[in-house]
Chain A
Amino acid sequence: MTIEPTAATLIAEREGLNVKPRSQWQLFIKRFLRHRVAMVSLVILIAIVLAALNAERLTPYPFDGMNLKDSNLAPTVEGGHFFGTDKLGRDYFTRVVYGTRTTIFVAIVVALISTLFGTLVGAVAGYAGGWIDNALMRFTDLVIILPGLALLMIMIAFLGEGSPLQVALILSSLLWTLIARIVRAQFLSLRRREFVEAAILAGASPWRVIWRHMLPNALGPIIVNATLTISTAILIESALSFIGFGVKPPTPALGQLISAGRGSMSTQWWLVTFPGLMIITICLTINFIGDGLRDALDARQAQRS
């Protein structure tokens, strides 16, 4: 019988496993800090972000400084070309570090904008219900079923000169839908919670109810999904750059570097390998952190019920 552990666990909890829980957020943070994989990932990610932010101090070369006599060097310690150089003699380590900076900038802006917008849409839909909910959710569905990549290409081709900020805005216009749906679901269930009804009965205005009572209680899932949106944005930005619709050269971005290097992959392996490894590392660490946050959050919710 597979149901036995469930029943047993339930009873164990009822019998006082949660006699003295500490503050909800404290518990959440404590569980997260105990998640080993997430913590290792967090350290790696912080190192990468710090490196990207301090690119100028990390490398003596400017990201577009050409030196044709040192072109196509394989990775070497000589001259500090740890990742080699490209066919224009630009230091590839510098290119990758600056590319990482661009890519992370784009991703974080996407995560912020789509989280804010998605939360707004989801919160209003979930709180108001009725036709407002219906209209907002049909609109969300519409954005979801649009062929995303094709649409992004068109928008960038027509609107964009390909600055990082512009790419980020265009990506955000499609990536807010997931968060909108998650927040709506959270709000729908919170709307039925008795403490929310009690606030309404106390005379709180809708905005006060949303802001003071519902949003703080929905923050956990929002944070988890904002985190995961960062890695989604990195992958999409890289894919767009790869097919030539992302951030325009000479500003380096990781996908664009791979795209530029793919022609000479067999002879100059480093051109594809280093930016590729960087994308993989960043996305993996973010996903592990997201898992850690989610586990910590689930535990918090299990404790609460």
Chain B
Amino acid sequence: MTGPLTAPAAADGALLRVEGLVKHYGGARHGFATPPAIQAVGGVDFTLKAGETLGLVGESGCGKSTTGRCIIGLERPTAGRVVFDGQDVATASPRQLKAIRRDMQYVFQDPYSSLNPLMTVFSTLAEPLYLSGMRRNDIRDRVAELMRLVGLAPEHGNRFPHEFSGGQRQRIGIARALALNPKLLILDEPVSALDVSIQAQVINLLEDLQDQFGLAYLFIAHDLSVISHICDRVAVMYLGRIVEVGTREEIFERALHPYTQALLSAVPIDDPDLRGKTQRIVLSGDLPSPARPPSGCRFHTRCWKAQANCKQTPPTLARMHSQSQLVACHYPEERPLVATIQA
């Protein structure tokens, strides 16, 4: 196997660069009425370096999965660029897409629906190899290698997906994504459908694979503890926009955006001794509809700090303290949530 670490990267060292990504659904005339378009992603920028893990975190409807799907070309972006390894995914031809997807693969959330129930594990893993033109004997060896790599016995290749547990099925999904030695895996909620005791197994496997092959991960999840465990950098999304990006320490210890702070404080803390000792921010109201996002800062309808200008001017992602932390808020400010806990 060739190490993908030697990949030629873009000038600034970014393997993946997302610029002004916008994705709207619908909005086309439907009979007589024209419903407003769902603005799933409303202008997202970020970069991802080779070998790095970037977490994309947010609640349902924030556009994190749509972002991932646009990056790999399962959806056509409405606007913006997705540059992977120097190639624009959004304008790639089907043939170019096929080539790009040798280096960029996807792991799906639901281990039950991500495997064809009528195909054996062997056929499932052999498919990408066969389609890439590999010879029959080599396929046999590579499938066995892939199965061992994710901790499955190669003898079980002739079994059907339903004969495996959820965790094992997710391993199969990971093996399929690894088949062609990609440089980047987009992991869309890869452990959220799994039982607690199994989650840790899969997270460890992902970490091992990253160490072994120098993979980059775009890790999409809503579970902050999983994100905090596995990610080098974290981007927090709210209603189709990134509100804050930073290293793990910056996001989890020195968050500046009120939404990030609310998200962190909402996570139940698994230590009964700290019960009642942390200040929980309970946001009022529900998520606004992505069909009619609020004007100005999209978070202003639920923000306790919102001022008049928050309703009018959308804040841009601006650099804070360090080179790495960016926040899109007119009134960024640290809030000592974590300090209380550590005390």
Contacts and interface: CB of A to CB of B under 8 A. Distances in A.
A and B are partners in one complex rather than unrelated chains? yes
Interface string A256-299: 00000000000000000000000000000000000000000000
Contact of A201 (B105, B110, B160): B105
Interface stretch (B15-23, B113-121, B147-155, B306-314): B113-121
Contacts of A22: 162
Interface residues of A, number: 23
B128 A217 contact: no
A204 B108 CA distance: 17
A152 B108 CA distance: 50
Interface string A22-39: 111100000000000000
A212 B126 CA distance: 13
B114 A194 contact: yes
Contact of B113 (A193, A202, A208, A213): A193
A17 B228 CA distance: 35
Contacts of A46: none
A180 B93 CA distance: 31
B106 interface: yes
Nearest to A193: B113
B101 interface: yes
B132 interface: yes
B118 A194 contact: no
A200 B160 CA distance: 20
A165 interface: no
A202 B176 contact: yes
Contacts of B114: 194-195, 198
Nearest to A23: B160
A147 interface: no
Given A24-B162, A194-B110, A197-B108, A204 B131 contact: yes
A208 B116 CA distance: 13
B333 interface: no
Interface residues of B, number: 28
Nearest to A304: B117
B109 to A, nearest CB: 8
A193 to B, nearest CB: 5
Given A194-B114, A213-B116, A203 B132 contact: yes
A202 B178 CA distance: 11
A203 B127 CA distance: 9
B162 A202 contact: no
B74 interface: yes
Interface in B155-184: 160, 162-163, 173, 176, 179
B335 interface: no
A21 interface: yes
Of A22, A201, A217, most B-chain CB atoms within 10 Å: A201
A200 B98 CA distance: 9
A21 B118 contact: no
A216 interface: yes
B195 to A, nearest CB: 12
B251 interface: no
B193 to A, nearest CB: 11
Interface of B: 72, 74, 98, 101-102, 105-106, 108-110, 112-119, 127-128, 131-132, 160, 162-163, 173, 176, 179
16 contacts: A194-B113, A195-B113, A195-B115, A198-B106, A198-B114, A198-B176, A201-B74, A201-B105, A202-B101, A202-B131, A202-B176, A203-B132, A212-B119, A213-B119, A217-B116, A304-B112
Given A202-B131, A202-B179, 12 more contacts: A21-B162, A22-B162, A23-B160, A25-B118, A194-B113, A195-B113, A198-B173, A198-B176, A199-B127, A201-B101, A216-B118, A304-B117
Nearest 4 pairs of A and B residues by beta carbon: A202-B128, A194-B114, A194-B108, A203-B131
